[in-house]
Structure 1
Amino acid sequence: MIDNIKPKEATSIINSLLGGVVPKIGVQHITVGRSEEIAAFVTALEDVKNGHSMAKFWIGDFGSGKSFMLHLLNTVALKQKFVVTNADFTPDNRLYSNDGKGVMLYSAIMDNISIQTKPEGGALPTLLEKWIEQIITKTAEENKVSLTSIRDEQYLDLIQKSIMKTISKITEVGGFDFGTVIMKYYEGYIKDDEQLRRNALKWLKGEYRTKTEAKQELGVREIINDLNYYDMLKNFCKLFVSMGYSGFMINLDEAINLYKISTSVMREKNYEKILTIYNDCFQGKVANLFFNFAGTREFLENERRGLFSYHALKSRLETNKFETLEIRDFAQPVIRLMPLDHNEIFVLLNKLKAIFDFNYKTNIDISDYDIQQFMEEIFNKPGASEFLTPREVIRDFLNILNIIRQNPSVDKNILFGEIEISDERPDELSLIDSIEEL
């Protein structure tokens, strides 16, 4: 049995893994073989808590556990009182753009903000209201007004001045409009004007597309766009830290989508943005900010399309030349995720069997010996050494458990024998690789 697992976590784990994706919650219950990486990450979190910033690159093959690792980092950071968020790079979400794709990434980042009490995302309104409550309390104390009275509309101007004064202290670029929008959010909060609050959130999440619309609805001159969204992220980081949080951690997955940008100029602009973030973090230009990027070896090492095609990044991200498979350096910016060995996969499948039984309130007739038989079958299949990933092993195992759960009389050994291995790599990546070889 898995200790301290909640029914909601168990359901999330089983449903997500069956769907081939990483569960948003509960990943700590299925973690195996990553203790050194996590220990190094906890050390890095301490540095960020103390005012430093950090950028890490988690590199591994498809299905090697990069996305899982980012979700695990979320769980660890939330317990350390970080505000965390995650977003995927897609053809429409990029770091640099001149057609709205940069601010689309920003909007995804803001949508997925999480805190320990809201680990599944959507925590931005909660954080804003918590910060406003802190401002209200401080203003009431300074002006010797009761906490009940200070919420009356007659004190609205006083609170708004306090908001703007506090914002101006912690922001640099775009602080006036940022503060004005938060004042509008407070006005909606006090007057119970849900539309005004929604408009303020819309601006803060980068969802206004024209300055005219924002001016009409909120009275601000600017909107968050492709050029200034990174400054807004830094403003939010300072806001969260001023509230008492340890820092702001931003996880960006599926970096292979930057590698797949067709024009070299646009790819380089995106890599230049990564360089800016890297330099800001390691040169002390920002505080309490932690970026994690997850991508494949192609994304990192390919000298035509990957990060190594951009010389300034290659010189910063090359592996410690003294590192070997046995002697690892987890303090460097790039952390390569090695495949789980067979013992670790056995432990993982045992955990999944226990969670499956807990979730469905059953006791599937699969022993340790059966798990070993399943592993022998799948790892000895043609193509296993080249294409098999932990994701596929997990999905096949859970699919077999589902069949047995619903058809108790089925012969599990026949099911084991029907396993097939397929290449899970995206077709378009194989095509890019073929073109590069020509």
Structure 2
Amino acid sequence: MENEDILMALKNGNVPSKGAKKLCVGRDVEIEEFQRLLRKVDDEDKAIVKFIKGEFGAGKSFFLKVIEDMAFEDNFAVSWITISHNLPFNKIELVYRNIAKTLRCKTGTSLEHVLDKWYTQHYNMASHDSDNDFEKHAILRERIHDELEDTRQFSSTFATAIENYAKLRSEGDTEGASAAVSWIRGDANIPFSVKKKFGVKGEINKETALNFLEALSIFIKSVGYSGLVVLIDEVEYIMHLHTHQIRNTSYNYIRDIYDNCNMGKFQSALFVFAGTPYLFEDSKKGIPSYPALEERIQKVLESDYVDMRTPIIYLSDFDRDDLINISQKLLEMHGEVYDWDAQSKVEPIIENIADELISTAGLSGGKVTARKFVRKFITLLDTVEQNQPHFNTPEDILNEFINNTNQIDDEDEFDEFDDDW
């Protein structure tokens, strides 16, 4: 079922929930670079910020999914947020809350799962050390206090809340422990009487949110994960915030994260911001309108040669080889899912399809938008498989593709806030 789900998601213009890496073509150098970065985060406790730049439909969200899959394979905890009307980046406390709420790992889908797993491990170790309940709980408290020492250096309040979460768990106060998790996650409106149980006051706000995010990355590493990966999609939405001041506030928070990573305030973390070229090039509302960020990440050497170690990585559209490669992968998958001889019928015209598309892509530098092509090709395979008696020769299939290309183009207009790929 997984391959069928992948095909359906791609046909609908969405990123599949699983299996993105095996369909990621033309990105070998980028994948290798992010594998290197993940190793540095894990082995050296580095904190790194990268920016992904690509046209609508070029595969930014798809590539973020590939990074997510790689991170899960390497035992990272991952959060994925999408900048939007409901999550503008100028409210950093809201950004933190969404990062904490979307936290996932290979074995679970919440911050509560991470905390529960961590607490259970320490409880089991304390139980192994002593059968006496009093001694066991004393050992447990000491272990947890010591392990939170690094986290405490970044935010004593954050560490206190986690320490008291563990205390409430050991006392059987599940309601208080659950409230502690909610507060750590950034939830508001928790009664003072409940917060008093886990030793905190107030709420996470714009003054404390970055410190909490730094503490979260330290805590994630300390409990046995390789580090924290935060994927931030559709960052170009910042350009549509109403005022210059609000946009500057958003870009300033990105600059703060960038600087704090480079200065060592963040540890064991990778932040990846993805946006369209407008975000990186528009001088009125994009990043260039905020020099404090632009000067840090701009390309300082104009060259046609690849340099993956610059802050911004550009994802180009498909070239001829990419089209052929992804076609062959989709062809094999489609044949297996729907149990038909897709390769003998369609493979002979794959190069013809690629040539046709490249020849009509002059205005885009001979490149084809990834999402558009994948949708077209899967639609073609679906049509041929369900109407095989009408397609007796490879030329019949090629004509079907060419004759219907314009219609599919018209149906695949991009919404500026719906860059699912």
**Letter of the structure 1 residue corresponding to residue 73 of structure 2:** K
CA distance in 1 between partners of 2:50 and 2:340 (Å): 41
Going from structure 1 to structure 2, the CA distance change for 1:177 and 1:251 (only over 3 Å counts) comes to: closer
Contact 1:63 1:389 in 2 (8 A): yes
Contact 1:211 1:221 in 2 (8 A): no
Report the 3-state secondary structure (helix = DSSP H, G, I; strand = E; otherwise coil) of the residue aligned with 1:33: coil
Query: Could you tell me which of 123, 132, 137 is aligned with 2:119?
Result: 132
**Letter of the structure 2 residue corresponding to residue 183 of structure 1:** N
Report the 3-state secondary structure (helix = DSSP H, G, I; strand = E; otherwise coil) of the residue aligned with 1:87: strand
For each residue in 1:169-189, what CA deviation from the matched residue of structure 2 results, as whole angstroms up to 9, or x when unmatched? 422454335533553366357
Contact 2:26 2:322 in 1 (8 A): yes
Give the CA deviation at 1:35.
1.2
Query: Could you tell me which of 285, 289, 312 is aligned with 1:334?
Result: 312
Aligned counterparts, 1:46-61, within 5 A = 46-49=39-42, 50-61=44-55
CA distance in 1 between partners of 2:354 and 2:163 (Å): 55
Matched, 1:224 2:204: yes
CA distance in 2 between partners of 1:353 and 1:91 (Å): 39
Report the 3-state secondary structure (helix = DSSP H, G, I; strand = E; otherwise coil) of the residue aligned with 1:21: coil
TM-score, normalising length from structure 1?
0.82
Query: Could you tell me which of 394, 412, 424 is aligned with 2:413?
Result: 424
CA distance in 2 between partners of 1:231 and 1:167 (Å): 15
CA distance in 2 between partners of 1:376 and 1:350 (Å): 15
CA distance in 2 between partners of 1:36 and 1:26 (Å): 19
CA distance in 2 between partners of 1:85 and 1:427 (Å): 23
Aligned counterparts, 1:104-253, within 5 A = 104-118=94-108, 122-140=109-127, 144-146=129-131, 159-160=140-141, 162-172=143-153, 174-176=155-157, 178-181=159-162, 183-184=164-165, 187-188=168-169, 191=172, 193=174, 195-209=175-189, 212=192, 215=195, 220-253=200-233
Query: Could you tell me which of 358, 367, 381 is aligned with 2:346?
Result: 367
Give the CA deviation at 1:190.
6.8
Give the CA deviation at 1:157.
6.9
- In structure 2, the partner of 1:39 is 32
- In structure 2, the partner of 1:26 is 19
CA distance in 1 between partners of 2:55 and 2:46 (Å): 30
- In structure 2, the partner of 1:308 is 288
For each residue in 1:246-291, what CA deviation from the matched residue of structure 2 results, as whole angstroms up to 9, or x when unmatched? 2111110101111221211000001000111111111222221111
- In structure 1, the partner of 2:394 is none
CA distance in 1 between partners of 2:142 and 2:202 (Å): 20
Contact 1:206 1:224 in 2 (8 A): yes
For each residue in 1:178-220, what CA deviation from the matched residue of structure 2 results, as whole angstroms up to 9, or x when unmatched? 5335533663577384x55543332232232466486388664
- In structure 1, the partner of 2:87 is 93
For each residue in 1:57-90, what CA deviation from the matched residue of structure 2 results, as whole angstroms up to 9, or x when unmatched? 1111111111111111122222333222211111
Give the CA deviation at 1:378.
4.7
Contact 1:185 1:200 in 2 (8 A): no
Structure 2: which 5+ runs fail to align?
392-396
| Superposition CA RMSD, Å | 3.1
Going from structure 1 to structure 2, the CA distance change for 1:269 and 1:68 (only over 3 Å counts) comes to: same
- In structure 1, the partner of 2:4 is 11
Report the 3-state secondary structure (helix = DSSP H, G, I; strand = E; otherwise coil) of the residue aligned with 1:249: strand
Identity within the alignment, %: 24
Going from structure 1 to structure 2, the CA distance change for 1:428 and 1:74 (only over 3 Å counts) comes to: closer
Structure 1: which 5+ runs fail to align?
1-6, 430-438
**Letter of the structure 1 residue corresponding to residue 115 of structure 2:** L
**Letter of the structure 1 residue corresponding to residue 330 of structure 2:** L
Going from structure 1 to structure 2, the CA distance change for 1:202 and 1:356 (only over 3 Å counts) comes to: farther
Matched, 1:277 2:267: no
**Letter of the structure 1 residue corresponding to residue 256 of structure 2:** T
Contact 1:62 1:424 in 2 (8 A): no
For each residue in 1:329-360, what CA deviation from the matched residue of structure 2 results, as whole angstroms up to 9, or x when unmatched? 11111111122211111111211122223333
Contact 1:22 1:67 in 2 (8 A): yes
Query: Could you tell me which of 309, 323, 334 is aligned with 1:356?
Result: 334
